[in-house]
Chain A
Amino acid sequence: MNHQPFNSWLYEDTPLPAAQAEELRQHLQTCPDCRRQQEAWLNVRHMLRTTEAARPQPGFSNRWQAGLEARRLRQQRRQVRITILALAGAVLLVLLGLLIYFALTSSFADLFASMIGTSTQVAVGLVQIGEFFQSLLRFLPPEVTAAAWFIIASWICSLCLAWVLSVWRISRKGVSSHEELH
């Protein structure tokens, strides 16, 4: 028996035109194979429509929020690692560049001599600055000297504190904002 186009019509999702529906009905009366298929499909469709939807275990959204926190933390730590690695890489690259530059532009002896010369100049400069401040302190009244020391010490302490806080914040929370998470 020729089952086409009836076999295709059985699985059409949209209602058939009246004439086709009638043709199909007549075919089904004489074709047990197509009738079995139609019954099977109607059963499956009923199952698809009526099978109860599966639900997650209670507390799904709480688990999602906990997961979000964990993922964010992982992402921030990864960001910190990337930042540190990028900085270290940049420093290494600069050092390598300098090394290559000096190696290409001057001999080792010149390099050594200029290094000694520069170090000596820096040391002499530091000694001169120290002497300048010492002579300055001798002329200033002791109150002003104490105040100057106090201000310098406060600045150093503040800078240290800011540095420690920054390191702590980056290591704990990373450098990401909500926007970056998106």
Chain B
Amino acid sequence: MSNPETEWLQRSLQGDEEAFASLVERYQNPVFNLCYRMLGDEFEAEDAAQETFWRAYQHIQRYDPQRSFATWLLSIAAHYCIDQQRKRRAPILAIDDLLEETLPDQAPDPERTASQTEEQLAMRKLLETLNAQDRSAIILRYWYDFSEEEIARALNLSASAVKSRLFRSRQALARQFMADAARAAGKERKQDESPAF
């Protein structure tokens, strides 16, 4: 951990709100990304990320400085998002709804934006096939390079449970990818076969 972060953490532990705001500034992207990948909606992700920082602020005294702050923070975010998923148990969004909604625009290039949106949608569709805990395990593993032990600690699971969840999730994602690819290929074939006037 870099020096300013250590200082912000120490000051935050003493109740310095400004120091904690610096931590919010520093970790807003990873926390938001995790919430977005978990919930699949920009507005819900914003609320979840805000709630994560509020919970972290409220319980900062419980943070163990020997451990990584990012791990602690992402663990709070993952738990919150898992709870939200359990509460809502909403049906998966229709693809048309997904297309209407745009992600926060970071690229001025329209082509790049379009391809990024497509990529994000594909990713979201894939992740939606997993249950909340499996999804969080996959996100922590592949977006944040958490080890199985770190995921186990973050999600309060045993290392063997994480291992089997990750394994099952990889299989499910690959199967979904194959199904999507087959569907897309079928669509293309239909378009090619349709008579041109």
Contact = CB atoms under 8 A, between A and B. Distances in A.
Is the pairing of A and B real?
yes
Contact of A36 (B57, B104, B167, B178): B178
B167 A65 contact: no
Contacts, number: 110
A45 B61 CA distance: 37
Contacts of B50: 63-64, 67
Contacts of A179: 15
B119 interface: yes
B106 A61 contact: no
B61 A182 contact: yes
A12 B174 CA distance: 13
Interface majority SS (helix, strand, loop, mixed), chain A: helix
Contact of A54 (B25, B104, B167): B104
Interface majority SS (helix, strand, loop, mixed), chain B: helix
B143 A48 contact: yes
B104 A48 contact: no
Contact of B119 (A8, A13, A47): A47
12 contacts: A11-B167, A37-B175, A41-B174, A44-B173, A44-B174, A48-B142, A52-B106, A52-B120, A56-B45, A56-B49, A60-B46, A64-B21
Given A40-B175, A56-B28, A56-B46, 11 more contacts: A11-B171, A13-B170, A41-B170, A41-B177, A51-B123, A52-B120, A54-B37, A54-B103, A60-B25, A65-B17, A68-B57
